[in-house]
Amino acid sequence: MAVDIRNLFDQLQEIFYTIEKNKLRTVLTGLTVSWGIFMLILLLGSGYGLKNGVQNAFQDDAVNSLWVIPGQTSVPHKGLKQGRHILLETSDVSQLSRGVKETDQISGRFYLGWDTTVRYQKKIGKFQVVGVESGYMDIENAVIINGRTLNPFDDTNGRKVALIGIEVNKELFPNRDAVGQYIRIKDVPFLVVGIFDDPGDQWTHDRLFIPMTTMQTVFNKSDRIHNIAMTIQTFEKERAQSVESSVRDLIAKRHHFSRTDKRALFIHNTLVEYNKLMDLFTGIKVFIWIIGIGSIVAGIVSISNIMLITVKERTREIGIRKALGATPDSVVIMILVESILITFIFGYLGLVAGIGFLELMDKLITGVAYFKNPEIHLSTAFGALMVLVVSGALAGIFPAGHAARIRPADALRDE
């Protein structure tokens, strides 16, 4: 065993001597491997950064959500002229809840105004007040950080309660707990029952949500709503599209417009859009791997070329080794080890440089939409490391085979 270790140590000494003898050539060749791994890590990490950014943006609302927004008819339908404005009503919400089996949470929305006056004692602010039904915060994907959310009893009893965003809380209640305090919305008192945060959508931070029945009784004076939000009981793209068609058919029938009239009713299907983007990122990931592997292949070719040159320069040495009893296998192992070592060292440097650059990007690129936390998974890093070892072996196979075929007599005649 000691002899084997000594032989291995001797081989490593010879390899490092050869590398040191041809420093510039080895470094320039090794840089092609470093660059290939560096670009692979950088591209993959950037791809993950884009994916993380998009997923973070979709935290704005539940991924399996539908948003129904009325428009204006663009074609005549059953004797009715085009150009009619579609006005949704509270009864549309109940009809959708009963008529579309896949609905989960559903709520109408009515906006009191973008700059409604809200008071607490001597503090006054301008905020958006929205009437919604219980369960809406699940659709909005918001988080209750203090107090409670709106519940069915608030709806059925028309309670004057309000759920406020974190920006509203900061402006009206900078030094005290808002929950349990009374605010005045257009001079009507409302009890603050909870404070919410919406990590995916900062636009909702300066909103107040009140029960829809209270909104209609106190402010709306009718059953009109501006739009409808809902979640559906599926995460499959095809079923989500089917639910979207069912919703459009039902609303079109109730409001007498053609179901093919896209301008009469806009439906934003979050799940379908999300799946489209995820499919796009899958294609981008495949493209990145193709580019990265192409760069690594270029490095393999360079390493193979330098090993061929090394074998040519060491022809006499190899011939003497074989004349003294070295087997072809030992010569092959010597060349392969040198090739793998060069590839591993420079490839590892490229790997570390790529990960370090991603960390730098993460710190420098902040607040950019659709780009967040560029990263490389541990499995990907180990995969890249395996690619290094395999590529080093591949780079040395042809030169090693050439070295093994050298005849001692021919080598000794080589000038």
Rounded mean pLDDT, 187-208: 86
Rounded mean pLDDT, 249-254: 94
Look at residue 341 in the predicted model and tell me its pLDDT. 79
The pLDDT of residue 85 is above 80? yes
The pLDDT of residue 311 is above 80? no
Q: Which two tokens stand for residue 190?
A: 């409302």
- Chain centroid to CA 317: how far? 55
Give the percent of the chain with pLDDT over 70.
82
Q: Determine if residue 221 is left, alpha or beta; phi over 0 gives left, psi from -120 to 50 gives alpha, anything else beta.
A: left
What Å distances lie between residue 380 and 270, 305, 350, 355, CA to CA?
A: 30, 28, 14, 11
Q: Which two tokens stand for residue 324?
A: 């003294």
Look at residue 7 in the predicted model and tell me its pLDDT. 60
Distance CA 151, CA 244 (A): 27
The pLDDT of residue 372 is above 90? no
331 vs 185, more confident: 185
What Å distances lie between residue 153 and 157, 158, 407, CA to CA?
A: 6, 8, 94
* Range from 85-94, 323-332, 372-381 carrying the lowest mean pLDDT: 323-332
Question: What does pLDDT average to over the chain?
Answer: 82
Look at residue 349 in the predicted model and tell me its pLDDT. 86
Look at residue 3 in the predicted model and tell me its pLDDT. 42
The pLDDT of residue 12 is above 70? no
Look at residue 413 in the predicted model and tell me its pLDDT. 58
Determine contact, residues 57/235, Cβ cutoff 8 Å. no
Distance CA 299, CA 91 (A): 67
The pLDDT of residue 181 is above 80? yes
300 closest CA partner among 388, 228, 208, 176 = 388
Q: pLDDT tens for residues 110-166?
A: 998 778 999 998 899 999 999 999 889 888 888 899 999 999 999 999 999 999 999
Confidence of residue 380 (pLDDT cuts 50, 70, 90): confident
The pLDDT of residue 55 is above 70? no
The pLDDT of residue 271 is above 50? yes
Q: pLDDT tens for residues 209-224?
A: 999 999 999 987 788 9
Q: What is the pTM of this model?
A: 0.66
Rounded mean pLDDT, 29-38: 78
346 closest CA partner among 289, 397, 302, 378 = 302
23 closest CA partner among 391, 342, 395 = 342
Confidence of residue 91 (pLDDT cuts 50, 70, 90): very high
Confidence of residue 2 (pLDDT cuts 50, 70, 90): very low
Confidence of residue 388 (pLDDT cuts 50, 70, 90): confident
In terms of residues, how long is the chain? Answer: 415
The pLDDT of residue 189 is above 90? yes
Determine contact, residues 45/374, Cβ cutoff 8 Å. yes
Q: Which two tokens stand for residue 267?
A: 């439906």
Q: Which two tokens stand for residue 71?
A: 């428009």
Confidence of residue 382 (pLDDT cuts 50, 70, 90): confident
Rounded mean pLDDT, 78-91: 92
The pLDDT of residue 350 is above 60? yes
